[in-house]
Amino acid sequence: MKNITRCLQDIYQPKKALLLYEHHLENRYYMEAYDMDEYGGPTGARPLTIEEAANIATLLQASTESNRFLRLTGLLPANVIYMDASASGCVLWHTPPRRVQLFFKQELSIPCGKAWVPGLLWKADRDELYIYALPNGKRPNGKTPLYHAPFFNIYEDGRVCMGTVDTEITANLSLEAFMKAWENYFFNSYFSHVIGGGASVQGNIIQLWQQQIGTGCRFPQDRLKRHSLTLKKVLPC
């Protein structure tokens, strides 16, 4: 219904009308094409040309491909909280605490390596990614408090600065591929700096990751810094 409402609010102008005739005795068909006048009425009836048919087929194919965005390849993943499969797309999903590979620019004096990260809330469309930390590994609800994601390259509101990372979220990605692509872009890029001079954790963030990398220790939840947002507040309208 949300997508239908959006379509009804758009302005569409009639471009062409097609009329299909069927022979009353034989299995044969004939198609006429009409152009539309300034009042939206059909005019200039003529047989549909091969070129016009090819152009219409191309338009229909493009429309079909655009509707493949965020399609499901199976059951809805259990960690998806919200999904809007419109042209721009928007998905909210969560991931549990886990051990991942992290990369850091040399200037930070943090070795690259594997470390535990807390449960995370991800919010992404085709252009931007937001990340927040969760208080535990359980599925969040509307009242779940959010925490700043304890990483570098993240703005105060949770938006991720992708820097020079070349993100390519195409219009034919499935939901699962969309989520995996954003997670890969984030964890496979190099962390480089704290944005705005603030700290996204309690204490020194550089020392925190120096202590965490390669130890196998779970991420210390008490180092998370409370955000002013709850999950309900980051849900799209």
pLDDT beyond 50 at 7: no
- Contact between 224 and 148 under an 8 Å Cβ cutoff? The reply is yes
| pLDDT tens-digit readout, 104-152 | 999 999 999 999 999 999 999 988 999 999 998 889 988 889 999 999 9
d(CA 123, CA 133): 12
Mean pLDDT value across residues 167-177:
85
Give the pLDDT score at 56: 67
Tokens of 222: 């008490």
- Measure the CA dihedral 151/152/158/160, to 10°: -120
- Three-state secondary-structure class, residue 184: helix
Please, what is the average pLDDT of the chain? 83
- Three-state secondary-structure class, residue 213: coil
pLDDT beyond 50 at 6: no
d(CA 136, CA 144): 10
Give the pLDDT score at 3: 47
Q: Among 76, 70, 52, 63, which Cα is nearest to 7's?
A: 63
Concatenated DSSP letters of 20-42:
EEE-SSSS-EEEEEEEE-TTS-E
Mean pLDDT value across residues 15-26:
78
Per-residue pLDDT band for 4 (boundaries 50, 70, 90) equals very low
Numbers of helices and strands, H then E, in the chain: 5, 12
- Contact between 223 and 208 under an 8 Å Cβ cutoff? The reply is yes
* In the chain, % of residues over pLDDT 70: 85
- Three-state secondary-structure class, residue 47: strand
Does the CA dihedral 99-103-107-109 come out positive or negative? positive
pLDDT beyond 90 at 37: no
- Measure the CA dihedral 73/78/84/85, to 10°: 0
| pLDDT tens-digit readout, 48-102 | 777 777 666 655 554 544 556 788 777 888 999 998 877 678 899 999 999 999 9
pLDDT beyond 60 at 237: no
Query: Radius of gyration (Cα) for the chain, nearest Å?
Result: 25
